[in-house]
């Protein structure tokens, strides 16, 4: 049993394709022997297989972790690979947040902790001009795990996101730096982000890593 973990963590990225699903998969694979859940409420860019829509990110996570894909892992599936609000409009499938929160309550009563993976970044619209990803996080009232890169430009993207989260009073559990390749400037980018943000809790994932050690991950989640 993992002690002191939150009921859930919201995995958000500084940008689209920053590696949220990869990081989620590493976390899930490391902790799959514990009572944990995974939830991707909005999945766009799905494809058809045997007349059923397949959610790309949950399927990747399950294949990566060698577990079975479950219907409980998603709520809204869209074919169009765009923001949830636009996919909803184009496909005429209204997003009803009550359905999302109902599923969240089911998962949080079933699992010790559940990792929710965002669609895109913090300011992605869920319902046009009404409801954004940061509104969803605030309503859930769970901390954020921020996934960012270490490449050139990452300081700006990461600090803007962290400062916005602080402005919205959304707690940051920690930062996961993804796809570290060992370039000379990457270590300094990490140092600047940690010193400027005053966030100490972090993990660095190297390019090609296939798992995060349980000890390191549990320490990260329980701080």
Cα–Cα distance measured from residue 77 to residue 56, given in angstroms and rounded to the nearest whole number: 10
Q: Within 13 A of 21's CA, how many CA atoms are on the CB side?
A: 18
Task: Estimate to the nearest angstrom the gap between the alpha carbon of 194 and the chain centroid.
Answer: 20
Rounded to the nearest 5 percent, the helix, strand and coil shares of the chain are 40, 25, 35
Query: To which H or E segment does residue 58 belong?
Result: helix 56-65
Which active-site residues does the annotation give? Answer: 40
Query: To which H or E segment does residue 137 belong?
Result: helix 133-140
Question: In 10 A of CB 6, how many CB atoms?
Answer: 16
Cβ-contact 27, 221 below 8 angstroms: no
Q: What is the three-class DSSP state of 180?
A: strand
């Amino acid at each position: 049993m993992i002690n002191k973990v939150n009921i859930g963590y919201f995995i958000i990225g500084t940008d689209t394709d920053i590696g949220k699903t990869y990081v989620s998969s590493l976390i899930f694979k490391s902790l799959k022997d514990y009572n944990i859940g995974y939830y991707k409420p909005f999945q766009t860019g799905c494809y058809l297989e045997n007349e059923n829509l397949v959610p790309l990110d949950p399927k990747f996570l399950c294949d990566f972790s060698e577990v079975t894909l479950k219907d409980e892992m998603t709520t809204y599936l869209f074919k169009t690979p765009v923001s949830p609000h636009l996919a909803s409009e184009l496909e005429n499938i209204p997003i009803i947040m009550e359905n999302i929160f109902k599923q969240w309550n089911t998962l949080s009563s079933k699992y010790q902790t559940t990792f929710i993976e965002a669609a895109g970044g913090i300011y992605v619209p869920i319902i046009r001009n009404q409801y954004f990803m940061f509104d969803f996080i605030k309503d859930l009232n769970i901390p954020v795990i921020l996934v960012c890169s270490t490449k050139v430009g990452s300081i700006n993207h990461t600090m803007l996101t962290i400062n916005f989260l602080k402005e919205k009073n959304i707690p940051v559990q920690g930062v996961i730096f993804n796809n570290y390749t060992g370039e000379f400037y990457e270590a300094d980018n990490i140092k600047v982000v940690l010193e400027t943000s005053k966030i100490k809790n972090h993990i660095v994932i190297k390019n090609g890593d296939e798992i995060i050690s349980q000890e390191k991950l549990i320490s990260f989640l329980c701080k």
